[in-house]
Structure 1
Amino acid sequence: MTNTRRAAIIDCGTNTIRLLIADDDGRGGLTEVDRRMEIVRLGQGVDAKGEFHPDAMRRTFSAADRYSALIREYEVTPDLVRFVATSATRDARNREAFFAGIEQRLGVTPEVISGDDEARLSYAGAVSGVADAQAPVLVVDIGGGSTELIIGDADQTMQHAVSLDIGSVRLTERYLRSDPPDRQQLSAAVDHVDRLLDGEPIDWTSVRTWIGVAGTLTTLAAIDLDLSDYDRSLVHTHRIAAAEVIAIADRLAGSTVEQIRAFGSVHPQRADVITAGALIAARIAARLPSLELVVSESDILDGTAMELLHGPDQGSDQEREHR
C-alpha cells in the first residue's frame, strides 16, 4: 500500500469515459500513475430521445468494470475516488438507472456536475499543463454534448465561463447526416454554432492564450502532427495556427468516415463525430485568427484530482454562467 495520497477520478461524458489515477506530489500538483480512455458513446440518441440507450449503458458499465479493477489494483481508498458525469447525464430521463449501475460497480455515488463546475475544473486542469500561458486565457473543451468556453487568469483562476449545447455527437446527430456531409448540412451546422458563439459576451480580441482540451482538440493536434499512432507526449502543448485548425476542419468535412478512420491519428470510434468537433473548433479559430491553439492533455480529470487531493480554491472571485 502506497503511503502517498492517491486519487482516482472517472470523467463520464457524452462520448468517452476516462480514468485518471494520480498521486499528490507534495508540491500542490499531481504525479500521474495511470490514465485510460474508452469511447462508449453514452450520449447515443439522448438529444433525440431524452434517455440513455440500453446498449450505451451496457458499454459504459463494461468500461466501469474495468476501471473498478484498476482502482483496486492501485489500492485507491474509497474516500479518494470520484465519478463525475457531464452533459449527457444531465439531459437523460433514465439517469437513476445509470447511477445505480455505476454505484454497484464502483462503490461511489456519481456526481452530475453543473456546467459551472465542469468549466472550473477543466480550466484548472488545462492551465496547470501550460507553463507559459498569458492572460486573458481562453480554455475550450469540446465534448460530445457540450462545449465549454472559459476565460481566466494564468494562475488557474476562472473569471467567466459558458457551457453551450453544442458538441461533436450532438452536432453530428442534428446536422451532419450524410457521409461525407453535404454543403447544405455543413452550412446549417456552421450557422447554428455561429449563433451560439455570437450570443455570448466574449471579448475575442482580448484573448492572449487559447488552450484546447479533450478528445476533439487532442485529435486535431495528432492530425496536425501526422501521427501514425497517438502519442500523448507529442500532443501535449502542441501548437496549431488558427488557419491550420480551419484547414484541418475543411479536410475532415470533405472526407468519408472510412477515410478518416484510415488516419492513424484518429481513434476509429471517434471518426464519425470528429468532423463536427473540428467544425466547432474552426468557428472558434475564425474568431482568434492571430492566435495558435495550444493543446493540453491536462483537463477536467487533472482539475478534479487536484481539488480532491488539495481542496477547492477558496480565494478566487469567479463569475460563472451556465447556458
Structure 2
Amino acid sequence: MTRVAAVDCGTNSIRLLVADVNPETGELVDLDRRMTIVRLGQGVDKTGRLAPEALERTFAACRDYAAIIKELGAERLRFVATSASRDASNRDDFVSGVLHILGVEPEVITGDEEAELSFTGATKELTGRDDLAKPYLVVDIGGGSTEFVVGDDAVRAARSVDIGCVRMTERHLVRDGKVTDPPTPDQITVMRADIEAALDLAEQTVPLREARTLVGLAGSVTTVSAIAQNLPEYDTEAIHHSRVSYDRVREITESLLRSTHAERAAIPSMHPGRVDVIGAGALVLLSIMDRVGASEVVVSEHDILDGIAFKAAEGVKGGK
C-alpha cells in the first residue's frame, strides 16, 4: 500500500483525500477525506478571471490541507484543478499560490482527462457486480462543467461540457447580482434549454443512450440522494451506492426549484455552500436522466478524487 494525498480543486469546492492505496487490487483505505466550499469559479463565466477573494479562500483551504498531509505522512501528492482554472486568464496566479503552499504545481487538466479520472474513481469497485449492467455512463456534475464518460472496464468515450451547477446558476438564475429566490418559470425554461444544447454537444462524442447503468458523482447528485433518503444529516455511508429513481429525482428537482433560500437551507443534509446552486445541479441530473432514459441513478461518493489517488499511487504525474 502507498500512502497518497489527492486534491481536487473544482469550481465550487476543493477536496482532499489522504489514503492508503493499492492500485493493482483496487483497494483504497481512507485516512482523511474532506471538502471545503471555496467558490473558486466565482464570476469566471462573466469576467474570465479568478476573483482575488476566491483565490484567497482557496489558498486558505490549501494551507489547512498542507498541515493534514504533513501530519499523516503522505508519500505522494497530486493536485488536480478543473473547470474554473481552465477558463481563467489569470490562472498563473492560482498555480504559483498552490506551488508556494503545497510544493506541487496544480495540474490544470482537460475535460477529457477529468472524465477519465472520474470514471476510474467511480467504477473500480463496481467490477464484478452482477446487478449493474455495462456499459456504465459516469456523469460528474461539477460547479463549472459536467463530465460524461461511457465505458466497460475501460473508457470508450468521454466529453466535458459547460453545464455545472455554479455556471448554470450564475448564467440563468442571477438578477441584479443576486440569485433569484425562487427562480421564475422563464429562467428555468431557458436554463433547461441551455442544458439540452450541452447534452446535444456531449452526444456528438459520447453514446449516452447506449449506457445500461447511470452512475452519478459529485455534490449535486449526492445531495439529491441525501434528500431522497430523508437523512437527518449528510451520511456518506448511506449515500454511497444508493439508488434514486427517476420519479424521485424529478420530484426533488421540482421542489428545489420552487423553494426559497431559507427552505433549501433548512434541509438537514444540505451543505451551506450548495444552497444557492443545488436547484441548477438537480436540473442537470434530471435532464441527463431524461436524455438517456434512465430509470434510476446509482450514486457514488467515489469519484475523481479517488481516481487521482489511484493515479498518484501508480506514480502518474504530480508526485513529490
State the Cα distance separating 1:130 from its structure 2 match: 3.1
What is the aligned partner in structure 1 of residue 53 from structure 2? 55
What is the aligned partner in structure 2 of residue 103 from structure 1? 99
- Correspondence for 1:39 among 20, 37, 40: 37
What is the aligned partner in structure 1 of residue 184 from structure 2? 182
- Structure 1 residues 1-323: aligned runs within 5 Å: 4-25=1-22, 27-77=25-75, 80-131=76-127, 132=129, 133-153=132-152, 155=153, 157-177=154-174, 178-199=180-201, 200-201=203-204, 202-310=206-314
State the Cα distance separating 1:5 from its structure 2 match: 1.9
State the Cα distance separating 1:99 from its structure 2 match: 1.1
Find the aligned partners of 2:217 and 2:126 in 1 and give their Cα distance: 11
Q: 5+ residue gaps in structure 2?
A: 175-179
Q: What secondary structure, in the 3-state scheme, does the structure 2 residue paired with 1:220 have?
A: helix
Q: Which amino acid aligns with 1:144?
A: G
Q: Which amino acid aligns with 2:227?
A: I
Contact map agreement 2:227 2:269 (CA 8 A) in 1: yes
- Distance of aligned partners of 1:299 and 1:27 in 2 relative to their CA distance in 1, 3 Å threshold: same
Q: What secondary structure, in the 3-state scheme, does the structure 2 residue paired with 1:127 have?
A: helix
Q: What secondary structure, in the 3-state scheme, does the structure 2 residue paired with 1:59 have?
A: helix
Mean CA deviation greater in 201-210 or 98-107: 201-210
Find the aligned partners of 1:34 and 1:294 in 2 and give their Cα distance: 24
Find the aligned partners of 1:257 and 1:150 in 2 and give their Cα distance: 33
Q: Which amino acid aligns with 1:181?
A: P
State the Cα distance separating 1:158 from its structure 2 match: 0.6
What is the aligned partner in structure 2 of residue 315 from structure 1? none
State the Cα distance separating 1:269 from its structure 2 match: 1.2
State the Cα distance separating 1:285 from its structure 2 match: 1.4
Q: What secondary structure, in the 3-state scheme, does the structure 1 residue paired with 2:291 have?
A: coil
Contact map agreement 2:209 2:293 (CA 8 A) in 1: no
- Aligned pairs, how many? 305
CA-based RMSD of the aligned residues comes to 1.4
CA offsets, 1:21-72, max 9 Å, x none? Answer: 0112473421111101010000000000111111111111111010000000
- Distance of aligned partners of 1:28 and 1:284 in 2 relative to their CA distance in 1, 3 Å threshold: closer
Which 4+ stretches in 1 moved above 4 angstroms?
none
Find the aligned partners of 1:124 and 1:246 in 2 and give their Cα distance: 28
CA offsets, 1:189-233, max 9 Å, x none? Answer: 001111111232344442210000111111111111111210000
Find the aligned partners of 1:290 and 1:112 in 2 and give their Cα distance: 32
Q: What secondary structure, in the 3-state scheme, does the structure 2 residue paired with 1:42 have?
A: coil
Mean CA deviation greater in 241-250 or 195-204: 195-204
CA offsets, 1:256-286, max 9 Å, x none? Answer: 1121000011101110001110110010111
Find the aligned partners of 2:55 and 2:236 in 1 and give their Cα distance: 28
